[in-house]
Amino acid sequence: MLNQEALFPMPQEERTSDDYWTPKWVFEALGVMFDLDVACPPEGPPHNSALHFYTQETDGLASPWFGNVWMNPPFSKTNDWAYKFIEHHNGICLVPMGKTKWFARLWEESDAVMAMPPNLKFDQGGIFIHTCLFAFGADNVAAMRRSKIGRVR
């Protein structure tokens, strides 16, 4: 059985509805070394190979981004994160599908998009909304294609 305390040292009562961390299998399938995880759990990246990371405390939205980034932002406040990701133009992000301006811009401007499986479960469990991966950069697009997670457009 999965030891929740080992994976998530933050007590349950301190977590928010935005504390959903990407499952390990997604990073294994992508096989990407990220320079920066911009919206990381407080303990650091539990599964990805990011060399650097920002947490809520270090405010990844207000901090400078560099290199190839991984972004799984707070889904309740995706707007500003998505626009900063578009501006940065190098990385892979996991975001909720939506009828929003930022989603439309990601759809039009990213180098690749891939719908995640509808039964995607985060480390903390399933969520009610469908998600997508978006990529900027040839290496990230190639990683998404190699991953076989879904169809890349």
Per-residue pLDDT, 17: 56
Q: Name the token pair of 20.
A: 């959903």
pLDDT tens string 37-92: 999 988 888 888 899 999 989 999 999 999 999 999 999 899 999 999 999 999 99
Q: How confident is the model at residue 125 (pLDDT cuts 50, 70, 90)?
A: confident
Q: Rounded to whole angstroms, how far apart are CA atoms 79 and 102?
A: 6
Q: Is the pLDDT of residue 6 over 50?
A: no
**Which of 29, 66, 73, 74 lies closest to 50 in space, CA to CA?**
66
